[in-house]
Amino acid sequence: MNVVPRRNVALSNSALTQLDASIVRPGYDRSQTMPRLVHIGAGGFNRSHLAVYLDDLLRLDEPRWGESGVGLLPADREIHDALALQDHLYSLMEMESGHEGLRVVGSLVEHLYAPDQTEAVLARMAAPECAIISLTVTEGGYFIEDATGRFLSGSADVRHDLEHPEAPITWLGYVAEAAERRRGLGRGPFTVLSCDNLQGNGALARRALTAFAQLRGGDLAQWIERNVTFPSSMVDRITPRTTAENRALILERFGVVDRTPVVCEPFRQWVLENDFVAGRPAFEHVGAEMTSDVAPYEKMKMRILNGGHSTLGYFADLLGIAFIHEAAADEQLHRLLLAYIEEAKAVVPRLPGIDLDQYAATVVRRFSNTAIRDQVSRICSEGCAKIAKFLVPPLADLLRAGRMPRVVPLVIAGWLHYQRGVDEQGRAMIMTDAQAALLQPFATSGCRDARLVLGESAVFGSLAAEFPAWVSRVQQYLDLLRKRGVRPTIASVLNGAIAP
């Protein structure tokens, strides 16, 4: 019997047949899908990326790999409650200028809110069917100091998990306790898969977990070294924060009531090291690339795309521009972005089968997607970590190759100027940075003395001591930004009025 689609359909398993025919939906039996993959941090990016690859595989009738999502943070309760009301279904709206498409994703078979379900989370991770524990915990979630690689064992959260192993609050505490239980029960190995936007994210996850396990004592660290693999992966899909406007559009355009939808661009990319000790889904069947070395792909993406985002973001916020596509359409900021990319390309490895110029052009085109409305404030958040990961590595490579870049120091000066907290019209900006304490001496100085930040080893390593001329360049740009403003300073740099 044909079912006539109706409007205002609240997502659930039973309502799938009532959705509009234009909506892609799971065509497989979700009850037969086993949560062999546990993902910590099932926010927007995970649900636009890894969960979609799993959903694609399920549509191909591949082996039934499903995802069990885990929320660690208070903000995850809202997602947890919404998913529970929808049988853990959610809609994904892919948006490109002038077009929207909607699909319902069914690969997320459960979601556990860890603060209320600690034992259930540990049991799921320690279960024999769990083969992969994956992570999206953001840059600061690894407790590794960027410039030195030092494990931050003194963190209050780390100390809590060491003192209360049965009631952890970090992913380290959960995974270490699950590993201890697996070891005691004689259960098999597993893989920890980082999906965070970090270079060498697998190595970082290994370093953090083994350092934590060593502090727990006993033989746990040795067991992890023998039984857990940590493949690195390069992830890419622009996924802005979902807004009330997005929810309204999904309801108006598609007739779907979704309490926790996700919006993203059509583009996606995933490159993974093929090092899964307990098996894995056949991600390569749905567009992922398996490799023995992710590092060059990471450098390409982080230096061009992520560094490009930061290049637009801080100046856009200072100019009162709210969205990345608006910044990319601004003639001066567009020129600045292209100039930054040209600098960065000089220290990006050439990969077989990838035209770097074409890749860069695709990045610029993605930034220009008017439908995405990616928030400038999102790009500017967690600046200390993003500057350290996305701009300092290409800067260091350029300086050590004997080149004094023009644009990268300008972007860093723009980030420092942004620390005043007001745009050029005197309006307060939304500023979020978990490492803001590193900037306090600079803020106390009135955001005038760049050396108070550039000498901070946690962000810039030893670059200030190695290259004093670079410090002087950033200070020069910062002084110009304070004296003349954003646009005249950018114009001077782009037009060569300031000697390189």
Query: Which pLDDT score is estimated for 6?
Result: 54
Q: Quickly state the pLDDT bin for 353 (edges 50, 70, 90).
A: confident
Both tokens of residue 73?
Answer: 């943070």
- Indicate whether 456 and 356 sit together in one domain: yes
Helical (H) or strand (E) element with 190: strand 190-194
Mean pLDDT of 54-75: 93
pLDDT surpassing 60 at residue 368: yes
Pairwise CA distance, residues 74 & 56, whole Å: 30
Cβ-Cβ contacts under 8 Å for 233 (sequence gap 6 or more): 193, 194, 195, 201, 202, 270, 271, 272, 273, 294
Helix, strand or coil for residue 173?
helix
- Indicate whether 255 and 400 sit together in one domain: no
Full residue range of the structural domain in which residue 482 is found:
307-494
Both tokens of residue 482?
Answer: 């304070």
In a domain, 2, yes or no: no
Exposed, middle or buried, 5 (CB in 10 Å: 0-12/13-18/19+)? middle
- Indicate whether 208 and 329 sit together in one domain: no
pLDDT surpassing 60 at residue 277: yes
CB-side neighbour CA atoms (13 Å) of 110:
17
- Indicate whether 157 and 118 sit together in one domain: yes
Domain count, the chain: 2
In a domain, 375, yes or no: yes
- Indicate whether 102 and 241 sit together in one domain: yes
Helix, strand or coil for residue 68?
strand
Q: Provide the edge-to-edge strand list for the sheet that holds 34-40.
A: 108-113, 65-71, 34-40, 132-135, 190-194, 228-229
Query: Which pLDDT score is estimated for 3?
Result: 44
- Indicate whether 40 and 65 sit together in one domain: yes
- Indicate whether 19 and 156 sit together in one domain: yes
Phi and psi at residue 405, in whole multiples of 5°? Answer: -70, 155
| Sign of the torsion angle spanned by Cα atoms 162, 165, 171, 177 | positive
**Which of these three, 229, 256, 291, is where a domain ends?**
291
Model-wide pTM > 0.85 = yes
- Indicate whether 282 and 166 sit together in one domain: yes
CATH number of the domain encompassing residue 413: 1.10.1040.10
pLDDT tens track for 239-269: 999 999 999 999 999 999 999 999 999 999 9
Rounded to the nearest integer, the mean pLDDT of the chain is 95
Neighbours of 28 (CB within 10 A): 17
**What percent of the chain has pLDDT above 90?**
92
pLDDT surpassing 90 at residue 62: no
Query: Which pLDDT score is estimated for 258?
Result: 97
CATH number of the domain encompassing residue 218: 3.40.50.720
- Indicate whether 71 and 164 sit together in one domain: yes
Neighbours of 374 (CB within 10 A): 27
Given a contact cutoff of 8 angstroms between Cβ atoms, the answer to whether 136 and 46 are in contact is: yes
pLDDT surpassing 50 at residue 2: no
In a domain, 39, yes or no: yes
- Indicate whether 56 and 131 sit together in one domain: yes
